[in-house]
Amino acid sequence: MKPNAAIAGIMLPLTAVVVVGGWIMMRSVDTYFPPELVDDEVCARRTSPKEGAALDELEAGWYGDALRELGEMPLDASANEGRPVMRFTYLPSFFSPISVRLEEQVDGGAIMSAVRGVGFACRPGAADCRVVRRLSAEEWAEVARWRKDLKAMAPTDCVIGVDGTRWVHEEVEAGRYRLVHRWGPEDDAVFRAGVAMLGLTGWRMEPDRELRPTSIRDYIRRHRPEAAAGFNGPQAAAPATPLPARSPAAP
């Protein structure tokens, strides 16, 4: 085989992998999150991200792929006919993702639907991989209390570690979308809201240590003061992003 032919035989498959990989990433970004929320410079120290950005492209692709795996549709302006929808996506370090969605009903009550990926106390075809039920009036009132605190949180605190869970909260109401996400949150509104939504499922979470705030943040504060500056990322709650209506086609 001639050298040029050999090189072409190697480069063509590599090019195909790059193209397909890029297409998958962009499909995740475009399908699941408003494009104005995505910017690779969200947490850069020397550049200015675009206003309203909350996710980098890697995070948007990662979160979108997890939601796709769980069979969750994107939240858009037409979701639930404008009534409030809240979705919490729990991405543990070593286990399958979980999604919990709350949807307000016409009568003022709410329906909770949750799904967990195979491998997190869930086996293929098992009935307990998904749960749907109506919340009690007391449960829905409690949601209103922690929801207010969650609304006050900044979209991100720009702290990223090599290990730990990702906690992703989305909310759509009257055509406006907002996202708040954290790496291994401490005992703050992001953490409390996530624990509350997981608690509504009735599932026994294993292992429970995954639900506790990470101690790595304390280590960062003590031993890496330059990284601790990340805790001083965007503090003010970002305004909700108006969403255009998407087509009803599945992602």
Q: Where are the domains of the chain?
A: 76-242
Q: What is the pLDDT of residue 241?
A: 65
Reported as a pLDDT band with limits 50, 70 and 90, residue 115 is very high
71: region left, alpha or beta (phi > 0 left; psi from -120 to 50 alpha):
left
pLDDT (tens digit, 9 = 90+) per residue, 91-105?
Answer: 987 788 999 999 999
193 pLDDT above the threshold of 60: yes
State in Å, rounded, how far the first CA of the chain is from the last one. Answer: 43
* 227 pLDDT above the threshold of 60: no
Q: Between 194 and 226, whose confidence is greater?
A: 194
Determine the pLDDT at residue 175.
Answer: 83
* Mean pLDDT in residue range 184-195: 87
- Answer whether residue 219 shows pLDDT above 60: no
| pLDDT average, residue stretch 119-138 | 82
Q: Mind listing the pLDDT tens digit for each residue in 49-84?
A: 677 788 888 889 999 999 999 999 888 767 788 899
- Mean pLDDT of all residues belonging to the chain: 75
Long-range contacts of the stretch 39-45 (C-beta < 8 A, 24+)? 42/156, 42/158, 43/156, 43/158, 43/160, 43/230, 43/233
- Judged against a pLDDT cut of 70, whether residue 169 lies above it is answered with yes
Which residues make Cβ contacts (< 8 Å) with residue 141, sequence separation at least 6? none
- Tell me: pLDDT of 25 over 50: no
pLDDT at 157 over 60: yes
pLDDT band, very low/low/confident/very high, at 87 (cuts 50, 70, 90): very high
Higher pLDDT, 235 or 89: 89
pLDDT higher at 48 or 176 = 176
Share of the chain above pLDDT 90, in %: 30
